[in-house]
Amino acid sequence: MRRLRVPAWSASPLRVSLILVITLVLVPATLRAAGSTSMPALQRAVHLLNADARTLRLAHDAGFDTVVQLFGWRQIEPTQGEYHWQYPDEVVQGAGYYGLKLVVRLDQHPQWAAAAPLSVNAPPENIADYAHFVGRVATRYRGRVLGYVIWNEPNLSSDWGGRRPDPAAYVALLKAAYQAVKGADLHALVISAGLASTDDQSATALDDRAYLEAMYGAGAGGYFDVLGAHPYGFAYSPDDPRGAHQGLNMARVADLHDIMARHGDGAKPVWATEMGWTVDGKGASAWQTVSEQQQANYLAGAFTRAGRDWPWLGMLSVWNLGDGADKAWDGYNLLDAAGGPRPAYRTLQQLFRPSQIAQLFGLGSVLRGWLEREQGGERYQVLAGDAVIHLGHREYSAPWVPLYGANSPSTHWQGTVYIKDPGTGSWNLTMRLMQSNAWGNFIWVNGQRLDPAFPLEDYSNSWVAYTWQVPAGVLQAGPNQVKVTVGEALPLLQDSPINWDDLQFKDIVLWHGAP
């Protein structure tokens, strides 16, 4: 039975008393215990290759406060005007659940936007296409993304379509993206592309210092809030002196800041959106290999030196946590091949252990969740209303979209939703469904099938909303899996041994209390 809900503040003096106790007693006591300690200015970040529930939790548990994640243009807009939002939606929701700030990198061209193979990262032939994509992302995640990194290492030909690096052309791209971000989310930060540390002056690579000088010469100063940098340590300690080893060490980042200062930009922060050391250098990079313990010590030393010597360095992002599909970078991972923590993970976890102030903020988060539950119903978007999923084995014209995952047959879909506290009662699941015509189509939550099966519909291509009850105890705090499966079509409709029902769905919502 649904319990009655009353106005939260007028009906319960106990709630007011609880707030006063926390405000007047617990907060001052914690502040006194902490003395003059304040939250660190240096953001502790890690770059994720696959921001799923496990890696987000591992990033949180290590003590990172920020994650950097690529939102690949080709994954989100594989066909011009056709957007796939499920993965970025889940990343944004998951980062919010774990209290992680999110920095999003935007690059990797779709085939339609540039006449270049997907093995390289090519700028678009029409800058307006990229700006439109950037604007769509920034509009969708307004207020939920800290900043956007505009492209990646454009001073390397491998990230510039195989062509000679062109600082002026990059500045044109940066300007268009800056305007798109600010037009959609004025408070989101625009971070210039992280520049690769290199001494080359060739058709394949341009020294990052020379590249930055040329960027300023092309008018870049007004079109970024933060300078991106990739000050890898190579084989050397983070305390390696500035200028040693031809400047190929972490201290090279100070050269970039000096260039900023000469151009009147010294007050802007620099963010190291990638940095790290590898325990398995490959090919020409084999000389950069360090031991696992050195990797741990060097990463800890990098955060220590940045906080001590470079107040303008606002973020260090370790490349990378691990658990990604690209095995070329395994040596940099904080996780080993089995997915367990390397010494670097444990060392950083110890370095980042939360202060009493941080624990207080965590208590505040728990309190906010309690108040939300007490003041009304909860609603969690599992799949957005504009993220249409087509399961089955046939392609149809509009209003049908391509088969999910470009697979035929495509027989199941799965999504992740993060719930703060499901409580002890039952929930409801609502979805919008188009044209389910077989008996074997079901929706599942955390492995439990919800009954009844999808109702049979007509062939009118219309969207119909249905609601199922999710029994008490099925949902859990944290990540929850929602799955849709389709069965084979009715015998009279089958024209081959493998013939699956075709259906579409969108706008899946988990809710309880007020709908």
The two tokens of residue 307 are 């906080």
Output the pLDDT for position 363: 46
Output the pLDDT for position 514: 67
Helices (H), 292-376: 292-309, 343-351, 356-375
By C-alpha distance, which of 317, 512, 307 is closest to 430? Answer: 512
The two tokens of residue 13 are 């003096």
How far is residue 429's CA from residue 160's CA, in Å, rounded to a whole number? 45
How far is residue 260's CA from residue 400's CA, in Å, rounded to a whole number? 51
- CATH fold of 38-364 reads TIM Barrel (3.20.20)
Whole-prediction pTM value? Answer: 0.89
Residue with tokens 């049908």: 400
Indicate the pairing of strand 442-445 with strand 478-485. Answer: antiparallel
Q: How deeply is 204 buried, as exposed, middle or buried, from its count of CB atoms within 10 A (0-12, 13-18, 19+)?
A: middle
Helix (H) or strand (E) holding 103: strand 101-106
Digit-coded pLDDT (tens) for 441-457: 999 999 999 999 999 88
CB contact at 8 A, 250 and 240 = yes
Q: Where are the domains of the chain?
A: 38-364, 377-512
CB contact at 8 A, 124 and 174 = no
The residues, any chain, with a CB within 8 Å of residue 159's CB and separated by 6 or more, are: 107, 120, 121, 151, 152, 153
Residue 213 main-chain phi, psi, to 5 deg: -55, -45
How far is residue 251's CA from residue 254's CA, in Å, rounded to a whole number? 6
Q: Is the pLDDT of residue 37 over 60?
A: no
CATH number for 377-512 (one of 3.90.380.10, 2.60.200.20, 2.20.25.190, 2.60.120.260): it is 2.60.120.260
Q: What is the mean pLDDT of residues 82-87?
A: 97
Indicate the pLDDT class of residue 493, thresholds 50, 70 and 90: low
Output the pLDDT for position 372: 44
Output the pLDDT for position 28: 38
Digit-coded pLDDT (tens) for 288-337: 999 999 999 999 999 999 999 999 999 999 999 998 666 778 999 999 99
How far is residue 373's CA from residue 211's CA, in Å, rounded to a whole number? 52
Q: Is the pLDDT of residue 34 over 60?
A: no
Residue with tokens 């970040």: 45
Residue with tokens 């969708």: 140
